[in-house]
Structure 1
């Protein structure tokens, strides 16, 4: 049985990081140092060129914007900020494939050893919230 995979045979694929923030609808825009919840969401996009991939990522980001009332009865909104990264995928993606990497530079061993998260903590964070 062949492994399931995303193939580059029939087109090019990209990973797009879509940056969005959440804050009150009625906010002080002049206060640049205000705290805002900010997320980077990674999406897989199929496109023939980087420009098409970028445009598709922007559309995904803009389409995800929405307003809601929070538990404090405050009107909030998720706002698309922009594209944080656009990474071409050069090989088929299948179980175990490397899809991204990060160069942390020359850092101390102590700092390097702080990156791994325990199995218990990772799995606890992934449990469905009831």
Structure 2
């Protein structure tokens, strides 16, 4: 079993909690309700945990996307991977960076977009299992 972490863009790790905190900043500054501050801090911490917790696991002929270290977001058969293409799409995906790869599967119309830190090693592992995968550069 091989585990690859997601690459993390620093601006994303700052932006997501900021979008939670900024709208409530007047309440925080006024100090009227400490529970709002506690709730916002908890929500921001949870958001950061999700963003920093993406893992891509290759186990035998299966590829899994995990979030928060425990939640299995999807399991895919490596034999169904047709093509891997670099992308910088901003569409929602289990990727914490815009330095991404799109994995096209034979049984899906929509590619899976992820952002492993070491893309070359990740792709090499997949192509060692399924040499029919086309890799675009």
TM-score, normalized by the shorter chain, greater than 0.5: no
**TM-score band, normalised by the shorter chain?**
under 0.3
Q: Under a length normalisation based on structure 2, what TM-score does the superposition of the two structures give? A: 0.22
Greater strand proportion: 1
Q: Under a length normalisation based on structure 1, what TM-score does the superposition of the two structures give? A: 0.23
Greater helix proportion: 2
Flag the structure with more relative contact order, 1 or 2, with Cα contacts below 8 A and sequence separation at least 6.
1
